[in-house]
Amino acid sequence: MFHLLSTFFVFFIAGISARAPPTSFVLVGDSTTANGTTPNSGGWGNGFCGSSLTGNIASVASGTPCINTAHNGATTGTFVANGFWNISLAAIRGEVAKARRTIVTVQFGHNDMKIAPPESMGTNLTSMVQQIRAAGGEPVLVTSLTRRSFNADGTVADTLGPWADETILVAQQQKTHLLDLHAASISYVEAIGPDAAHVLNRLPDDNTHLNVNGTTVFGRMVADLMAVSFPGQLPIVQNAALSFNISHGIPSF
Ligand SMILES: *[C@@H]1O[C@H](CO)[C@@H](O)[C@H](O)[C@H]1NC(C)=O
Ligand SMILES: *[C@@H]1O[C@H](CO)[C@@H](O)[C@H](O)[C@H]1NC(C)=O
Ligand SMILES: *[C@@H]1O[C@H](CO)[C@@H](O)[C@H](O)[C@H]1NC(C)=O
Ligand SMILES: *[C@@H]1O[C@H](CO)[C@@H](O)[C@H](O)[C@H]1NC(C)=O
Ligand SMILES: *[C@@H]1O[C@H](CO)[C@@H](O)[C@H](O)[C@H]1NC(C)=O
């Protein structure tokens, strides 16, 4: 996996373009994507979009709309039922109406896995993909960020795999872009080991949510996967030093 990632990053650095057309990002998901303005809520969105919380470290070019509509505790079902999906759709339509290429990431699994088999999430993801397209956006499915819980042998104690696999299946069926954040984040945290991985926790015992350094690292990981998936097309800014650390399994914090 590391060899694979390194290959990707070389490609990314060679492929980036300075002249991307007007583009917006809308993020959909649970707390592992969400803004993190309340305790234990931090996901990778702030590191991707940029935020005063990250000292304005961002992965997208300055002035790029990047609207994080992810919500803590959401499953694909509750996200819709509680009205958050309508907020996401309104954001997508608003950006499309401004004639912007509107890239919509969708990442679920952490809460879906607590209530239903993967196929239930898959059905709901398929509906979201179709509605994003109908609204004029471009869906990008993202597999679940790994939890930073480890087995005694140093491997990640993964429980999200079947939900990541389901997301990959829907991406293939619906022919969307796919960012395999689950695989990339497992490779990285296994390379840096438990102590360095836990430095990125929102709270010491919270292996799910991210602190400011965690959102910086995983927001950059998502940006780098995105830049590989859309070579030279998106207003993603480089952070070569952090990307180097991520692709080489080196802790940054
Ligand atoms: C998250 O932050 C973005 C950018 O500041 C903002 O547009 C969005 O409304 C926020 N989302 C939530 C759920 O607070
Ligand atoms: C998927 O959505 C349906 C409603 O359409 C809901 O009943 C179900 O619980 C959802 N599945 C998950 C995993 O959230
Ligand atoms: C979302 O919007 C649709 C269409 O306007 C509406 O039918 C539905 O009730 C809304 N959902 C929620 C939870 O408000
Ligand atoms: C990359 O890792 C090195 C060594 O741990 C660290 O000194 C440096 O600050 C990291 N770079 C970034 C941009 O995080
Ligand atoms: C983030 O990293 C910086 C630099 O290593 C450190 O000073 C800071 O305490 C870290 N923040 C958190 C919340 O751990």
Tokens 């995105």 sit at which residue? Answer: 226
* Beta strands at 101-107 and 23-29: parallel, antiparallel or unpaired: parallel
Give 192 Cα–ligand 2 centroid separation in angstroms: 36
Which protein residue has the closest C-alpha to ligand 4 atom 7? 252
The answer, yes or no, to whether residue 145 has pLDDT greater than 70, is yes
Give the model's pLDDT for residue 58. 86
In this structure, is residue 13 part of a structural domain?
A: no
- When pLDDT is cut at 50, 70 and 90, the band that residue 144 belongs to is very high
Which of the ligands is closest to the CA of residue 90?
A: 3
DSSP state letter for 207: S
Q: What is the CATH number of the domain that holds 136?
A: 3.40.50.1110
Give 170 Cα–ligand 3 centroid separation in angstroms: 24
List pLDDT tens digits, range 88-126.
Answer: 999 999 999 999 999 999 999 999 999 999 999 999 999
**Helix residue ranges, H only, the chain:** 2-15, 45-49, 76-81, 84-97, 118-134, 161-174, 181-198, 212-229, 240-247
Q: Is the CB of 180 under 6 A from ligand 2?
A: no
In this structure, is residue 15 part of a structural domain?
A: no
- When pLDDT is cut at 50, 70 and 90, the band that residue 3 belongs to is very low
The answer, yes or no, to whether residue 179 has pLDDT greater than 60, is yes
Domains in the chain, number: 1
Q: Is the CB of 82 under 6 A from ligand 2?
A: no
Rounded to whole angstroms, the Cα distance separating 251 from 21 reads 34
The answer, yes or no, to whether residue 57 has pLDDT greater than 50, is yes
Nearest of 156, 150, 228, 227 to residue 187 by alpha carbon: 156
Give 104 Cα–ligand 1 centroid separation in angstroms: 14
List pLDDT tens digits, range 7-18.
Answer: 444 444 434 444
At residue 209's C-alpha, the angle toward residues 181 and 10, to 5°, is 30
- When pLDDT is cut at 50, 70 and 90, the band that residue 40 belongs to is low
* Beta strands at 23-29 and 66-68: parallel, antiparallel or unpaired: parallel
In this structure, is residue 5 part of a structural domain?
A: no
- When pLDDT is cut at 50, 70 and 90, the band that residue 54 belongs to is low
Give the model's pLDDT for residue 19. 59
Give 49 Cα–ligand 5 centroid separation in angstroms: 19
- The residue type of 209 is H
In this structure, is residue 7 part of a structural domain?
A: no
CB 178 within 8 A of CB 222: no
Give the model's pLDDT for residue 248. 98
In this structure, is residue 16 part of a structural domain?
A: no
Which of the ligands is closest to the CA of residue 111?
A: 2
Q: What percent of the chain has pLDDT over 90?
A: 84
Which protein residue has the closest C-alpha to ligand 2 atom 5? 77
Question: Which residues contact residue 234 at a Cβ distance below 8 angstroms, ignoring those fewer than 6 apart?
Answer: 20, 23, 60, 103, 226, 227
Give 204 Cα–ligand 5 centroid separation in angstroms: 13
Choice between 15 and 160, residue whose per-residue pLDDT is larger: 160
Which protein residue has the closest C-alpha to ligand 5 atom 4? 253
CB 103 within 8 A of CB 26: yes
Give 250 Cα–ligand 1 centroid separation in angstroms: 30
Extract the tokens encoding 200. 């990125």
Ligand 4 atom index nearest CA of 242:
13
Give the model's pLDDT for residue 13. 42
Give the domain range for residue 209: 21-247
- When pLDDT is cut at 50, 70 and 90, the band that residue 36 belongs to is confident
The per-residue pLDDT of the chain, averaged, comes to: 91
Give the number of C-alpha atoms closer than 13 A to the C-alpha of residue 85, restricted to the C-beta side: 21
Which protein residue has the closest C-alpha to ligand 3 atom 5? 86
DSSP state letter for 150: B
Give the model's pLDDT for residue 55. 65
In this structure, is residue 144 part of a structural domain?
A: yes
CB 101 within 8 A of CB 24: yes
Q: Is the CB of 128 under 6 A from ligand 2?
A: no
CB 143 within 8 A of CB 167: yes
Taking residue 133's Cβ as centre, other Cβ atoms within 10 Å add up to: 14
Q: Is the CB of 242 under 6 A from ligand 1?
A: no
Q: Mean pLDDT across the stretch 186-199? A: 98
List pLDDT tens digits, range 202-213.
Answer: 999 999 999 999
Phi, psi (rounded to 5 degrees) for 59: -105, -10
Rounded to whole angstroms, the Cα distance separating 165 from 32 reads 18
In this structure, is residue 176 part of a structural domain?
A: yes
- When pLDDT is cut at 50, 70 and 90, the band that residue 228 belongs to is very high
